[in-house]
Amino acid sequence: MVQSYVVYLGRNSHTSKPSTLGNDGMTESYYDLLGSCLKSKEKAKEAIFYSYTSHINGFAATLEDDEVDQLSNRPEVVSVFPNEVNQLHTTRSWEFLGLERNGQIPADSIWLKARFGEDVIIGNLDTGVWPESESFDDEGMGPIPTRWRGYCETNDGVKCNRKLIGARYFNKGYEAALGRPLDSSNNTARDTDGHGTHTLSTAGGRFVSGANFLGSAYGTAKGGSPNARVASYKVCWPTCYDADVLAAFDAAIQDGVDILSVSIGRAFAIPYFRHGLAIGSFQAVMNGILVVCSAGNSGQFLGFGTTSNVAPWVLTVAASTIDREFPSNVVLGNNKEFKGTSFNTNNLSARKYYPIVYSVDAKVANASAQLAQICYPESLDPTKVRGKIVYCLGGVIPDVEKSLVVAQAGGVGMILADQSAESSSVPQGFFVPTSIVSAIDGLSVLSYIYSTKSPVAYISGSTEIGKVVAPLMASFSSTGPNEITPEILKPDITAPGVHILAASTKAPRRLSRLIDQRPLSFNIISGTSMSCPHVSGIAGLLKTMHPDWSPAAIKSAIMTTARTSSNARQPIAKASAAEATPFNYGSGHMRPNRAMDPGLVYDLTTTDYLNFLCSIGYNATQMSIFIEEPYDCPPKNISLLNFNYPSITVPNLSGNVTLTRTLKNVGTPGLYTVRVEKPDGILVKVEPESLKFSKLNEEKTFKVMLKAKDNWFIGSYVFGGLTWSDGVHHVRSPIVVRKAVN
């Protein structure tokens, strides 16, 4: 059986010095290797569809099962793994994060300190880019930084400028997985999905006034690093295959990006040596590039342990809410009001009542009541609907499609009732003014319709700020514990990811037909794929301010300055909330203005990451996936608990344990003292209790001793924290502990 595979030969020797073979020579060597297995170099040339020649050593090819076996037995081949699929993970948010205040930028904002991310280069692996978006206008920007080595693939009218400095596409892995040639319309870096444009503009889009989605969330859109240069790497069609992802990492490293934003991932975590994203991101981090990844959107459906991007060298981001909501309320003729949600799509005239009809009573003669009650296409009679608000039930077909059915029948609005008491409505854009109400409220509306001779109603929508508690953890956001390495807490950090307004592609054709024939320049999307570029944008600001900081130092600054509070809750049902834990939010909710001056950081080097792989038992073959030269693990067993991560996780505490951490001073000299929030049932002792730093980059090591009380419940996780402070800086690490089951 023919399938597509990634053949990995270990880290390339030309990552540290120019290869004597050159790129063409490397490709020829791949042909020779595969040709020796296929007994034909020409067949090898036909089979190989990617040659990774910059910073990743290997190729992608279509192979038969027996050919995979032959290649796997070759001594120069480290691994052969299937070209598997990854999934995409989707105005007010920057003010909510403290970068602006009432539309003004305060003097202490990181935006001013970092010159809005001037000339940092942010790359984005996603569905491409819509280059004509105002978010990528280059007016007033200076020359492109000379360190940039990338380019723009201009198929399909794609044009780059001094803002959007790179746009490339990678589709050979997708083509190989399909098993048939792609048509020429796929040979483009242009974004036809909208996701990539949204994430890239969230990370590095420019200021665009008057941005809104169908009248909702009106304001000025901007990215985290508005003055950054941005580059798009299209790897999702919309699914994202490993072969394409690896090719994009290889290109981005060579092009010279500073930050990589990657809002894609698996449905579940897999071992690092088999994960294309983990391998590619390791090479990026080795080259000084911070890689920011989304945690995933499986929390609501699959529960705990669903975070997919769990490698310790990437910064993994969960999603939370901001203090903005989009009510769309129904007021009946009897003055009863029911709260619903919807984006403001051309509100009905203020307080003007319209007749309301149940869709079952407005069906065409040949339609069943079952289809009419869900407003199924062609089920409504225009003579019974025209000029009225229609009451429909949710389910079966998309809610937006129901509104199209009502609009085509001449209806002026729609009330949509959830069919399940447990379902939660999510604001959307509709073809007619719409309110999504709860199942119970829907029954009240239906009762009014049947108990009133001439029932009437109106729908009133708006955008409200500051009337809801925030941040709350998004119910969809994937959670810990880390299923691959439980000693590493994932996700790492939380950022806004619900109802985020940012640039998009043109509107879908059928939506544009009904909304004044105008394209939509902006859209509102939710997902950890939206929280990820928020952190990428802030990382860009930190890179501008501190160009010498390592990726790990930037990551630590973001994590240790995060906020946890009683507001960090995760909704578990419509009307109730439960306390969230570090498995939901990691170190907490990002605070950018604190991150620019963290005081101390937990730093890590390539050697630390390699020793991490040693500590989880990787053999020489697996290690060679990440490093070119044979790596000798330290003679003594390395405790994974001593890995210098900004969080502390002990998943199997038996008796007591002592672990170490090292802090580096990146601020002014000072005396730091420790404060401990003890997890329930755990005794915690820190030695020493104070650390004095006299100079920049000075490092100090401390020990943390953990002991479980005898009567502590076995098998459950408990949570606490450890904070070092000099009175100005507060460097916090979450503590996560579970007592081992004997």
Q: For residue 508, what is the DSSP state?
A: P
CA distance 397 to 417: 13
710 carries an active-site annotation: no
Q: For residue 298, what is the DSSP state?
A: -
ω into residue 455 within 30 of 0, thus cis? no
Helices (H), 275-332: 276-286, 299-302
Q: For residue 507, what is the DSSP state?
A: P
Question: Which residues, in sequence order, are CB contacts of 448 under 8 Å at separation 6+?
Answer: 332, 333, 334, 336, 455
Task: Determine which one of 403, 529, 624, 647 is catalytic.
Answer: 529
Residues in the chain: 742
Amino acid making up residue 480 = G
In this structure, are residues 330 and 435 in contact, taking their beta carbons and an 8 Å threshold?
Answer: yes
Question: 737, 723, 278, 315: which is closest to 492 by C-alpha?
Answer: 315
CA distance 204 to 136: 9
529 carries an active-site annotation: yes
> Helix and strand tally (H, E) in the chain?
21, 38
Task: Determine which one of 14, 55, 195, 198 is catalytic.
Answer: 195
- DSSP annotation string for 327-370: BEEEEETTS-EE--B---SSPPSTT--EEEEEGGGGB-TTS-HH
Question: 554, 551, 532, 535: which is closest to 264 by C-alpha?
Answer: 532
In this structure, are residues 279 and 272 in contact, taking their beta carbons and an 8 Å threshold?
Answer: yes
Which residue bears the tokens 């399940």? 420
Task: Determine which one of 14, 89, 93, 126 is catalytic.
Answer: 126
210 alpha-carbon distance from chain centroid: 26
Classify each residue of 598-631 as buried b or exposed e, where b means 16 or more C-beta atoms within 10 Å of its C-beta.
bbbbbbbebebbbbbbbbbebeeebbbbbbeeeb
Question: Which residues, in sequence order, are CB contacts of 283 under 8 Å at separation 6+?
Answer: 11, 15, 55, 56, 249, 250, 253, 626
In this structure, are residues 589 and 93 in contact, taking their beta carbons and an 8 Å threshold?
Answer: no
Question: 146, 113, 145, 51: which is closest to 538 by C-alpha?
Answer: 113
Helices (H), 41-142: 41-47, 65-72, 92-96, 110-113
What is the distance in angstroms between the CA of the first residue and the CA of the last residue of the chain? 46
In this structure, are residues 242 and 170 in contact, taking their beta carbons and an 8 Å threshold?
Answer: no
- DSSP annotation string for 704-732: EEEEE-TTPPTT-EEEEEEEEESSS-EEE
In this structure, are residues 249 and 56 in contact, taking their beta carbons and an 8 Å threshold?
Answer: yes
In this structure, are residues 92 and 217 in contact, taking their beta carbons and an 8 Å threshold?
Answer: yes
24 carries an active-site annotation: no
CA angle 688, 689, 694 (to 5 degrees): 80
CA distance 461 to 150: 46
**Residues with a known catalytic role:** 126, 195, 529
